[in-house]
């Protein structure tokens, strides 16, 4: 079952994906990784992925360098900057507070959420 990515969380998901990856990733790999880690619940709409990447480049949270894919095609590989990690931390904490709050309202235990 597919779901829309909750509004405002895409940046965090991209940053987390890049942060946990050992290698730099290009756009398609990021999309695939998000799909895989979310158990194919979230399919990143590519239409929102690239605007988000450009936005984060400007913010200085990620940097992109041109490289070659395994089959020798040019691709831009992204990695998180220290500023990006700091933003990710803040975003994750804030997200945690929000989900716990929502869970509380829905009268579910935090474990179940």
Partner 1 sequence: MLGRLWRRLRLLLSRDRATRDLEEEMRLHRELRAESLHRQGHAVDEARSEASRRFGHAIRIAEDSRAAWGWGMADAFWQDVRYAARRLRQRPGFTGAVIGILALGTGATTAMFSAVDAAFLRPLPFAEPDHLMTLRRVNIPSELRMEPEVRRPRSFDVDHVREMRDVFSHVAAYASGGLNLVDPQRPRRVKAGVVSGDFFTTLGVPATTGRTIAGADGVPGAPKVVVLSWGLWQTDFGGGNVVGTTIPLNTSRYEVIGVMPRGFSFPDESDLWIPMSIPVTDATFEPFRGYLPSTVIARTAPGITREIAETRLRGAWERVVSTLPRERGQRLSVDETLDVIRAQGASTPLRAELVGNRRTALLVLFATTALLLLIACANVTNLLISYGASRSRELAVRTVLGATRVRLVRQLLAESVMLAACGAVAGIVVAPFVLRVLRTLMPAQLAGVAPVQLDLRVLAFATLLAVITGILFGLWPAFGATRGSALATIKAGGGHGASAGGARRSQHLLVGAELALAGVMLVGAGLMLRSFERLVATDAGLVAEHVATLEMSFLRGIRQAQRLERLDRMLAELRRLPGVIAAGAVNDLPLRGGGGIGISVKVDGAPPAANREFPRYLVASDGYFEAMGIALKRGRYFLPSDGTGSASSVAIVSQSMADVFWPGKDPLGRTFLFGGDGPPVQVIGVVADVRESGLEEDPGPQMYFPARTNLDANVALVVRGTDRPGDLLPALTRAVRSVDAAQPVYNVRMMDDVIGKSMAARRANTVLIGLFGLLALLIAALGVYAVTANAVAQRSREFGIRVALGATRSDIAWHVGSEMAVVVTVGVVGGAALAWAASRVMAGLVYGVTVHDVGTFATAPVVLALAAVAATAVPARRAMRVQPVEVMRDE
Binding partner 1 (rule: CB under 8 A), the pick from 36, 41, 45, 89 is 45
Binding partner 1 (rule: CB under 8 A), the pick from 23, 54, 94, 99 is 54
At 2, which helix (H) or strand (E)? none
Q: Which is nearer to partner 1, 28 or 104 (CB)?
A: 28
**Nearest C-alpha neighbor of 90 from the set 15, 21, 31, 7:** 15
The one segment of 16-24, 46-54, 90-98, 99-107 that binds partner 1 by CB under 8 A? 46-54
Q: What is the DSSP letter of 4?
A: P
The answer to whether 81 touches 60, Cβ cutoff 8 Å, is yes
Min separation Cβ 81 and partner 1, Å: 10
Residues in the chain: 113
Q: What is the DSSP letter of 21?
A: -
Check binding of 50 to partner 1 (CB under 8 A).
Answer: yes
Check binding of 53 to partner 1 (CB under 8 A).
Answer: yes
**Nearest C-alpha neighbor of 30 from the set 7, 52, 61:** 52
Task: Note the residues at the interface with partner 1 (CB under 8 A).
Answer: 26-28, 31-32, 45-47, 50-55, 57-60, 66, 69, 73-76
């Amino acid at each position: 079952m597919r779901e829309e990515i909750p509004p405002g969380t895409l940046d965090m998901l991209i940053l987390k994906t890049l942060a946990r990856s050992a290698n730099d990733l290009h756009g398609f790999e990021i999309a695939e990784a998000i799909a895989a880690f979310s158990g194919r619940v979230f399919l990143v709409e590519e239409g929102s992925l690239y605007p988000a990447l450009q936005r984060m480049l400007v913010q200085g949270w990620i940097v992109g360098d041109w490289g070659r894919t395994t089959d020798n095609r040019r691709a831009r590989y992204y990695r998180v900057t220290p500023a990006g990690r700091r933003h990710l931390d803040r975003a994750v904490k804030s997200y945690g507070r929000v989900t716990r709050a929502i869970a509380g309202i829905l009268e579910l235990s935090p474990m179940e959420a």
